[in-house]
Structures are given as structure tokens and as C-alpha cells.
């Protein structure tokens, strides 16, 4: 049998679903362009959250495109089964997250940067001025790189997806309040109280982060994402995993 006939037979078998209903076959384009989103594009993800050695939780989240503008998207997000309506978020046309920092709209997370091809890189670098507990501000730096194509199996099926890795660090400025230490020392003439006060202190803490995600062009987003944080001793303190359960295209 000639190779052209064999290839045609394999192609027909794939089209007929001989390789299984959960297999999604896709080509490997040299470059991946930005997707064309439509209102109603809807993704359902199972999410797992781990923090330290004791905290573990799972949830199912639904994300849907509610509006497509010239410069942004309106993305609705809610937990599956919640009686509440979607929380609406303004995001970029590449699904990047934004926040107002010092009066300016700032990209705080860009998981995807189009067009993408193997070897593509991009960065995140911004300062979060919000005070959270002892943290007075934080600088977030991440470098993303497109690694290559891999087959990834998730609840929604098997996808030939573009693997993207991100390595980063968070440099937090922390302030510790002033403390007072008192003690008493007994002498021959009686008890004498001795007090010692410490001034407020400030310092810097640096934590590392790692993310890997798999982008499938046919569903316009990622099918799997794993995000990890590490402390100053390079011990993992947090891990978030998201896997695609279903995708429904809009109109």
C-alpha cells in the first residue's frame, strides 16, 4: 500500500473518531495568533488549592465572555452551583488581568502574549502599593517562555497544547511594629524595673514562583495551569491547579 493511501486512511479514521471520542487532534502551527472571542464562549474549570501542609480545597468555576469590546473583554466568573450572578471582570483581549495602580490601568497578569511561537518570551514587572498585613508594598517580576507542544489529558479530553512556563519572584517590603520588652532585676536594696523598647523595623522578603500552563488554540484558552509559590528556603508554600472540564463556544 502506498504511503499516501495509508495517510489518507489515518486521516479518515481520525475524522471518524476511531482514535476515541476524547482525543482532540490539532496541528502545530509555526505561530499562534490571538483568538477571536465571541459572547457566550464559556469554560468550566476544576480548581484545587493547597496551602502549607494543612489547607486543601476544591471548587468548580465557570468563566464566560459577556462582552467583546475594541480594547477589552467583559469576563463573568462564578462558582458552579452558586445562586449569585457572575462577577464581572474587565480583562484584556488576551485575557490579561488589569488593576488600577496609582491611578493608571496596569497589567498585573499576562498568561498569554500573541502571536506565540516556540521560544517566545515576555515579562511582567509592576509594583503593588497595597498594604496587606505587615506587607507595605510588593514588586512582582515574572518571565514567561513558550517551551513547545505537548499532549495533555484533562477531564475535557486530550489536547495538543502549547506549553508555557513562567519563573518569577515577589519582593515584599515589610514593616514590623515597635515592641517593648520589660524585665525586673532584684538587688540588695530592692527590686528595680528595667525596660527596653525596640523601634519599628522594616525589611525585605523575597519569594519565588513557578507556573506552567498549556494553551489549546481550539478552545481559545488554557486547558491546564499549575501555579506554585516558594518561601525564602525554597520550600513550597502554595499550589493552585486548574484543569478544563468543558468548553462551549459562543455565537
Secondary structure of 123-146 as H, E, C letters: EEEEEECCCECCEEEEEEEEEEEE
Question: Which stretch of 19-33, 43-57, 72-86, 100-114 has the lowest confidence by average pLDDT?
Answer: 19-33
DSSP code of residue 232: T
3-state class of 93 per DSSP?
Answer: coil
Q: Assess whether pLDDT exceeds 80 at residue 145.
A: yes
Residue 198: per-residue pLDDT: 62
> Got the DSSP string for 87-107?
EEEEEETT--EEEEETTEEEE
Residue 202: per-residue pLDDT: 80
Question: Which stretch of 28-32, 112-116, 133-137, 184-188 has the lowest confidence by average pLDDT?
Answer: 184-188
Q: Which own/partner contact pairs does 99-103 have at CB distance under 8 Å and 24+ positions apart? A: 99/128, 101/126, 101/127, 101/128, 101/129, 102/129
Could you tell me the three cell numbers for 73?
473583554
Q: 156-177 b/e with 16+ CB inside 10 Å = b?
A: bbbbbbbbbebebebebbbeee
- Residue 193 pLDDT grade (very low, low, confident, very high; cuts 50, 70, 90): low
Residue 185: per-residue pLDDT: 52
pLDDT, greater one: 104 or 245: 245
Q: Assess whether pLDDT exceeds 90 at residue 119.
A: yes
Question: Which stretch of 23-32, 97-106, 135-144, 166-175 has the lowest confidence by average pLDDT?
Answer: 23-32
Residue 10: per-residue pLDDT: 37
Residue 9: per-residue pLDDT: 41
Q: Is the peptide bond before 115 cis (omega within 30 degrees of 0)?
A: yes
Residue 8: per-residue pLDDT: 43
Contact 161, 216 (CB under 8 A): yes
CA distances from 52 to 84, 138, 168, 204 (A): 30, 21, 19, 21
38-248 CATH: 2.40.360
Residue 191: per-residue pLDDT: 55
- Residue 133 pLDDT grade (very low, low, confident, very high; cuts 50, 70, 90): confident
Residue 113: per-residue pLDDT: 97
Q: Given CA atoms 215, 217, 220, 223 in this order, what sign does their dihedral have?
A: negative
Contact 47, 60 (CB under 8 A): yes
Residue 167: per-residue pLDDT: 98
Strand 23-24 and strand 157-176: the pairing is parallel
Residue 190: per-residue pLDDT: 55
Q: Assess whether pLDDT exceeds 80 at residue 201.
A: no
Residue whose C-alpha cell reads 525589611 in the numeric block: 203
> Which residue, among 225, 123, 218, 94, has the nearest Cα to 164 in the 3D structure?
225
Amino acid at each position: 500500500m502506498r504511503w499516501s493511501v495509508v495517510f489518507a486512511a489515518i486521516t479518515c479514521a481520525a475524522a471518524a473518531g476511531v482514535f476515541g471520542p476524547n482525543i482532540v487532534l490539532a496541528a502545530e502551527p509555526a505561530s499562534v495568533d490571538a483568538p477571536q472571542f465571541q459572547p457566550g464562549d464559556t469554560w468550566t474549570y476544576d480548581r484545587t488549592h493547597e496551602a502549607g501542609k494543612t489547607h486543601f480545597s476544591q471548587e468548580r468555576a465557570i468563566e464566560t465572555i459577556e462582552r467583546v469590546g475594541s480594547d477589552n473583554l467583559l469576563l463573568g466568573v462564578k462558582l458552579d452551583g452558586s445562586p449569585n450572578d457572575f462577577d464581572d471582570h474587565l480583562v484584556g483581549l488576551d485575557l490579561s488581568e488589569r488593576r488600577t495602580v496609582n491611578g493608571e490601568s496596569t497589567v498585573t497578569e499576562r498568561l498569554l502574549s500573541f502571536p506565540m511561537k516556540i521560544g517566545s518570551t515576555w515579562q511582567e514587572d509592576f509594583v503593588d502599593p497595597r498594604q496587606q498585613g505587615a506587607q507595605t508594598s510588593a514588586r512582582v517580576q515574572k518571565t514567561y517562555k513558550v517551551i513547545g507542544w505537548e499532549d495533555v489529558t484533562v477531564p475535557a479530553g486530550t489536547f495538543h497544547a502549547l506549553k508555557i512556563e513562567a519563573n518569577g519572584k515577589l519582593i515584599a517590603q515589610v514593616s514590623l511594629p515597635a515592641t517593648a520588652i520589660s524585665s525586673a532585676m532584684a538587688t540588695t536594696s530592692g527590686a528595680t524595673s528595667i525596660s527596653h523598647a525596640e523601634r519599628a523595623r522594616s525589611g525585605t522578603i523575597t519569594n519565588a514562583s513557578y507556573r506552567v500552563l498549556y494553551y489549546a488554540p481550539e478552545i481559545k484558552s488554557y486547558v491546564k495551569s499549575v501555579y506554585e509559590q516558594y518561601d525564602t528556603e525554597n520550600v513550597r508554600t502554595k499550589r493552585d491547579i486548574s484543569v478544563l472540564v468543558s468548553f462551549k463556544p459562543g455565537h
